[in-house]
Amino acid sequence: TTEEQPSTDLATLTREVLAEQFRLGAAVAGDLTLLLNAIQVTSKFIATNVRKARLINLWVMLFPVVDNFTQTLLKLFLKIKSIGLAGETNATGDEQKKLDVLSNDIMVNALRSSGKTAVLVSEELEEAIIIEDRLKGKYCVVFDPLDGSSNIDAGVNIGTIFGIYRIQEGSAGSISDVLRPGSEMVAAGYTMYGSSANLVLTTGHGVNGYTLDNALGEFILTHPNIKIPPRGKIYSFNEGNSLYFHEPVKRYLESIKYPSNGKSPYSSRYIGSMVADVHRTLLYGGIFGYPDDKKSKKGKLRLLYEAFPMAFLTEQAGGIATTGRKRILNITPTDIHERTAVFLGSKEDVQDLIKFYEEED
């Protein structure tokens, strides 16, 4: 028979990142690799917690009539007493930690103790964390610990987004090390927690996708060199905001829903988790958009830890990421929690959208 032997050659994330750095002749290949290693450990831990929280959700839905005491017992039994459902109170009446806060704590702890970071910026923390000298390293990590958190209780895909800068020459690590254009990031990626955990990463030389092998506890290279199709058939916008959209966006959406030249209209897909919507866009093509509008004057998505990492990945996969008027990666942030309009995806689709902005000006 021609039955395939199982591969004995494991393309793990750590191995691939190391190999890439050796190819580039990096003098010190170890530091970024160790940092990325710390990040993948947090992704595994968050994935486990997301799964546990979903399990208890399922139990509560199967037995909606069980009283609080029984629910508490179930949670104790499943060892998730410290997680619980978003916004619930635990057995002792304390506010339980929401999953996004828990994920934040997991990341802060792991990144700080990695000894490779100098500045941390998280969606869940008002202020940046400047790492104490004893543990200070050369990298700054900006992250959204749990993206799509409104989807948690429905069991829909959610994720973690991260971007990495190297601190500037001579800097001891300060806010100015992260208030820099996204084009200066040295790596970026996300982990999506779905039926499996998928980590998608760029270090500026293309995009690789890894899938967590639960038995091995390793992210294995399953999607090497991801490229966005030059044109797609899907658009992904929260059209419930149409009332507030500006003219170029309205006209663009009109053009793909009512094409004039006998072409088929686009399909609509919108999950409401940026990670999941961008993941689909990278693989299938099309356009994802969260515009600024009359209500959200600067848009909704955050520049540092949502727009920049996704724009970096999109460009590395051969696509375009724009605000409609300028390249996202060229923006210099002035605030760590700054927002921006985002359109990203297949080259031709995003170019079509940009034409509507040019017509407007």
The residue ranges that bind ligand AHG (CB under 6 A) are 123, 144, 147-150, 238, 272-274, 290, 300
* Residue 271: both structure tokens together: 């999950």
Cα distance between residue 47 and residue 182, in whole Å: 27
218 binds, among ligand AHG, Mn ion, none (CB under 5 to 8 A by kind): none
User: 144, 277, 315, 349: which one is catalytic?
Assistant: 144
Neighbours of 134 (CB within 10 A): 6
Least distance in Å: CB of 266 to Mn ion?
A: 25
The size of the chain, in residues, is 361
User: 16, 20, 147, 177: which one is catalytic?
Assistant: 147
Answer yes or no: 100 catalytic: yes
211 binds, among ligand AHG, Mn ion, none (CB under 5 to 8 A by kind): none
* Nearest residue to 182 (alpha-carbon basis) of 12, 315, 361, 317: 315
Asked whether position 349 contacts Mn ion by CB under 5 A, the answer is no
Judged by beta carbon, residue 141 or residue 221, the one nearer Mn ion is 141
Judged by beta carbon, residue 18 or residue 152, the one nearer ligand AHG is 152
User: 16, 123, 293, 349: which one is catalytic?
Assistant: 123
- What b/e string do you get for 184-202 counting C-beta neighbours within 10 Å, with b at 16 or more? ebbbbbbbbbbeebbbbbb
User: 16, 20, 100, 277: which one is catalytic?
Assistant: 100
Answer yes or no: 67 catalytic: no
Asked whether position 16 contacts Mn ion by CB under 5 A, the answer is no
Asked whether position 123 contacts Mn ion by CB under 5 A, the answer is yes
Cα distance between residue 90 and residue 94, in whole Å: 5
Least distance in Å: CB of 120 to Mn ion?
A: 15
Taking 3-state DSSP, the helix, strand and coil percentages for the chain, each rounded to the nearest 5, stand at 40, 20, 40
Question: Listing from the earlier edge strand, what are the strands of the sheet with 129-130?
Answer: 129-130, 117-122, 139-147, 158-166, 187-193, 197-202, 207-213, 218-223
Interface residue with Mn ion among 16, 147, 177, 292 (CB under 5 A) is: 147
Judged by beta carbon, residue 160 or residue 208, the one nearer Mn ion is 160
Residue nearest to Mn ion (CB): 147
Asked whether position 144 contacts Mn ion by CB under 5 A, the answer is yes
Judged by beta carbon, residue 102 or residue 167, the one nearer ligand AHG is 102
Tell me the backbone φ, ψ of residue 199, rounded to 5 degrees: -110, 125
Answer yes or no: 184 catalytic: no
User: 20, 277, 292, 306: which one is catalytic?
Assistant: 306
Give me the residues paired with residue 161 across strands. Answer: 144, 190
DSSP one-letter string for 81-139? TTT-STT-B-TTSPBPPPHHHHHHHHHHHHHHHTT-EEEEEETT-SSPEEPPGGG--SE
Judged by beta carbon, residue 71 or residue 236, the one nearer Mn ion is 236
Least distance in Å: CB of 210 to ligand AHG?
A: 21
Answer yes or no: 306 catalytic: yes
Residues with catalytic roles: 94, 100, 123-124, 144, 146-147, 306
